[in-house]
Amino acid sequence: MIFFFTGTGNSLDAAQQMATHFEDQLISIAEAIHQKKFDFELKPEEKIGFVFPVYFWGVPSIVADFIAQLKLHNYHNQYIYTVLTCGGSVGQTHRLLSKMLFNKGYRLNAAFSVQMPDNYILMFQINTPTEKVPEILNSARKRMHEIMAVIEKQGNFPKLLTKGATPWIYTSFFYPMYRKGRKTKPFFVTDSCTSCGLCESICPSKVISLKNGLPTWEKEQCTQCLACIHRCPEKAIQYGKRTIPIERYVNPVLK
Ligand SMILES: Cc1cc2nc3c(=O)[nH]c(=O)nc-3n(C[C@H](O)[C@H](O)[C@H](O)COP(=O)(O)O)c2cc1C
């Protein structure tokens, strides 16, 4: 059983590679929340995976909300692992996840990370330039093979987790900024909008709705996956002026 969350497709890409390799089932965290499905039956030897992007060196709010309500029936210490997709490093994201699972009575046995194209375009100049995407996705595929070989044996291999330098400093300094600061107010739509409604249908936080044919962000906060910005076919969605000249990114699995 592989629970996944994705904004721009990287984590879906990683989760799909695993689902194919292990002939395992994929469960979308966003859909499960939407359907209020939090109860899952485990088989005795089942492996349980959590695949999602790292946000501000921590766990996306939607994943945290899901785990808070999750019930794994027939849990008898089955192997639980996480594969974190990131643009560079994960800080202590795995520790935060481990605590969340521990509070529910579950144990995180292994944590891995895979570097994918960086989709963060709101503040710093850290998003991956388009010409580097194929190379990064290629390396990511190789890394996924290494990770899957360890998962196959239900092991753990800390060298396959890139925490970065001073991981605690990053997580304890930046993650609280995410929890409080992920405001929807700066989102706006330009004249290029064709009212196709894609942003409304893909928003995992269900905060977007079309009013007079144009997207509006109806809650103060969202999980900030940036799917609306990156996947808009007309590049009509912006977040302040900074995102106007910046290239968008969508993993090929979503194209
Ligand atoms: C709000 C936000 C915060 C991010 N923070 C980090 C971070 O702390 N460290 C990092 O390496 N990448 C960070 N990234 C990049 C994503 O983790 C990375 O691009 C990920 O693979 C995207 O996955 P997805 O395509 O499944 O949404 C961030 C992206 C977003 C949207």
Looking at residue 8, its pLDDT comes to 98
pLDDT given for residue 192 in this prediction: 97
The pLDDT, as a whole number, for residue 179 is 86
Q: Tens of pLDDT along 60-75? A: 999 999 999 999 999 9
Q: How far apart are CA 116 and CA 29, in angstroms?
A: 20
Q: Is the CB of residue 58 below 6 angstroms from any atom belonging to ligand 1?
A: no
Domains (ranges, CATH) in the chain? Answer: 2-179 (3.40.50), 182-254 (3.30.70.20)
Please indicate whether residue 167, judged by its CB atom, sits closer than 6 Å to ligand 1.
no
Q: How many residues in total does the chain contain?
A: 255
Provide the pLDDT for residue 32: 98
pLDDT, tens digit, 9 for 90 and up, residues 194-251: 999 999 999 999 999 999 999 999 999 999 999 999 999 999 999 999 999 999 999 9
For atom 27 of ligand 1, the residue with the nearest CA is 7
> Global pTM?
0.98
* 9-45 per-position pLDDT tens digit: 999 999 999 999 999 999 999 999 999 999 999 999 9
Burial class from Cβ neighbours inside 10 Å (0-12, 13-18, 19+) for residue 177 reads: exposed
- pLDDT tens for each residue of 162-188: 999 999 999 999 999 998 899 999 999
16: left (phi over 0), alpha (psi -120 to 50) or beta: alpha
Is the minimum distance from the CB of 204 to ligand 1 under 6 angstroms?
Answer: no
Residue bearing tokens 């990156």: 230
> Looking at this protein, which amino acid is placed at residue 212?
N
Determine what percent of the chain is predicted with pLDDT higher than 70: 100
3-state secondary structure of 247: coil
So what's the pLDDT on residue 45? 94
**Distance (Å, rounded) from C-alpha 221 to C-alpha 206?**
11
Atom of ligand 1 lying closest to residue 7 CA: 27
DSSP per position, 49-77: EEEEE-BTTB--HHHHHHHHH-EEET-SS
Partners of 83 in beta bridges: 51, 112
For the stretch 110-127, pLDDT in tens is: 999 999 999 999 987 778
Nearest CA residue ID for atom 16, ligand 1: 86
Q: Which residue minimizes the CA distance to atom 2 of ligand 1?
A: 55
CA of 227 to the centre of ligand 1 (A): 11
